Amino acid sequence: MQAELTILESQYDSIVEEDIESGENKRHSVYHMRRESNTLWQKSKEIRKLLEEYQQTLIRLDQVSKLKNVDERSYQALQRYLRSPEGVNNFLRGREANPWSEKNRSDLVTLSSRHVEADLLTV
């Protein structure tokens, strides 16, 4: 997305340069760009749209980065559930089981945990 923004910025700058070199003395205020519906205004709208997407992506990334990794007790409970008849009874095999495997454990997050700050007698 950053590369796309850089490309759009370069295109915007090229349009401004072309306008200056043409000698038409076009006005680049938002008011005039909107009224004339010119290419600079269209490029400004493209940039604005991509910036909004970029901002939303950054916010989501920030939120995801704040999620806590799964704690030991929750991970072990998940493993027991996946193996149990009440759970999926080892239904997941191969690639389907990979997300829950020990090698991918660091990728797992906890949205909430029953075990955080719980004493050993709490279930």
Q: Where are the domains of the chain?
A: 2-65, 69-110
User: What tens digit of pLDDT does each residue of 7-28 get?
Assistant: 999 999 998 888 778 776 666 6
**Cα separation values, 2 from 59, 62, 76, Å:** 15, 17, 40
Whether 43 contacts 12, CB under 8 Å: yes
Question: 68: part of which helix (H) or strand (E)?
Answer: strand 68-69
> pTM of the predicted model, to two decimals?
0.59
Question: 76: part of which helix (H) or strand (E)?
Answer: helix 72-83
User: What tens digit of pLDDT does each residue of 43-92 get?
Assistant: 989 999 999 999 999 999 999 989 888 888 888 888 888 888 877 676 77
